[in-house]
Amino acid sequence: MHALLGGIDAVYKQLYTGSMSTAIKHTIYRPMTPDNADILVAGGARSQSESSAVLDPRGEHLVCFTGGMFALGGKLFDMPEHVEIGRKLTGGCIWSYKALPLGVMPEVFQMIPCQDKLHCNWNETLWHEEISKYVSLGSDQDIDEYIKNARIPKGFAQISDPRYILRPEAIESVFMMYRITGEEKYQDAAWDMFTAIIQSSETELANAALADITYTREELKKGGINIQMDSMESFWMAETLKYFYLIFSEPDIVSLDQWMFNTEAHPFRRNLQA
């Protein structure tokens, strides 16, 4: 609303800065990854009392919009530290795409929060311990065997919903980061995301949601497994494909200097007369 109204009402900046300071403090964390990637994930928080909360390291594809939100807020309110947070949150979603064997991010997952956002080294033993918190292993069941059978990539403690339902939030933030920074690496990331999604979801008629993106292509082919679902949400064309199209278009096509997008990716002309 701040962008749409041209900044004529200070309440929207107050709402943004207040809510984002709470999010930074309680819900955003750096995950432990095998490549020690300097990324962030937006999780949740559970209230313990009126004055304290505990982090819930649950990540969702739906929440990947936060990277673009922080970057846009940082740009509008001259808060470069928020642009940097947006960069790392978007990086977390890009990383999650690349970490899965099909190159597509799952719907819901859990990762392992680092104690220190600046220094976080991979710890295989800790990874095993965190996975064990989510499952009940028998005395004769080995943790490595469970990881293999459950197809859990390194860096994830659990993939509680392995679907991909053609969501737009990750590419939305990648698009926002590209338009705000002009860095071509975001176009490269978008192309990898697009080709991976198309390769797995394309059908004779359109594109299908995917039931389980933890398989490798070799496993799918060898086992005759079909993960395509008889489902294609309307946001695939209304949002996901729109952002993929725009990131490879000239920046003056729906320029963010003149337009803003609502939650469903509909462009509205900004009030620049204020």
For the cut 70, the answer to whether the pLDDT of residue 267 exceeds it is yes
For the cut 80, the answer to whether the pLDDT of residue 113 exceeds it is yes
Residue 274 placed within a domain: no
Residue 120 placed within a domain: yes
pLDDT at 20 (0 to 100):
97
pLDDT at 47 (0 to 100):
85
pLDDT at 41 (0 to 100):
98
CATH of the domain at 42: 1.50.10.10
Q: Which of 54-58, 97-101, 261-265 has the lowest mean pLDDT?
A: 261-265
For the cut 90, the answer to whether the pLDDT of residue 238 exceeds it is yes
Residue 179 binned pLDDT confidence (cut-offs 50, 70, 90): very high
For the cut 60, the answer to whether the pLDDT of residue 110 exceeds it is yes
For 31-51, how does the pLDDT look when each residue is reduced to its tens digit (9 = 90+)? 999 999 999 999 999 887 777
For 240-261, how does the pLDDT look when each residue is reduced to its tens digit (9 = 90+)? 999 999 999 999 999 999 999 9
Residue 175 placed within a domain: yes
Residue 36 placed within a domain: yes
Residue 132 placed within a domain: yes
Residue 273 binned pLDDT confidence (cut-offs 50, 70, 90): confident
Residue 145 placed within a domain: yes
Residue 48 placed within a domain: yes
For 131-155, how does the pLDDT look when each residue is reduced to its tens digit (9 = 90+)? 999 988 776 678 999 999 999 999 9
Residue 95 binned pLDDT confidence (cut-offs 50, 70, 90): very high
For the cut 80, the answer to whether the pLDDT of residue 264 exceeds it is yes
Its domain, for residue 169, covers 2-269
pLDDT at 258 (0 to 100):
93
pLDDT at 222 (0 to 100):
96
DSSP string covering the chain: -HHHHTT--THHHHHHHHHHHHHHHHTEEPBP-TT-----EE-EEEESSSS-EEEE-EEEGGGGHHHHHHHHHHHHTT-HHHHHHHHHHHHHHHHHHHHSTTS---SEEEE-B-S-SS-----HHHHHHHHHTTS---TT--HHHHHHHHT--TTEEEEEE--B----HHHHHHHHHHHHH--THHHHHHHHHHHHHHHHHB-SSSB--BS-TTS-HHHHHHHT---B-S---THIIIIIHHHHHHHTS-TTTT-TTTEEE-TTS-EEE-----
Residue 45 placed within a domain: yes
For the cut 60, the answer to whether the pLDDT of residue 274 exceeds it is no
Q: How many domains does the chain have?
A: 1
Q: Give the residue, 171 or 50, on which the prediction is more confident.
A: 171
Percentage, residues of the chain above pLDDT 70 = 99
What global pTM score does this model have? 0.95
For the cut 60, the answer to whether the pLDDT of residue 62 exceeds it is yes
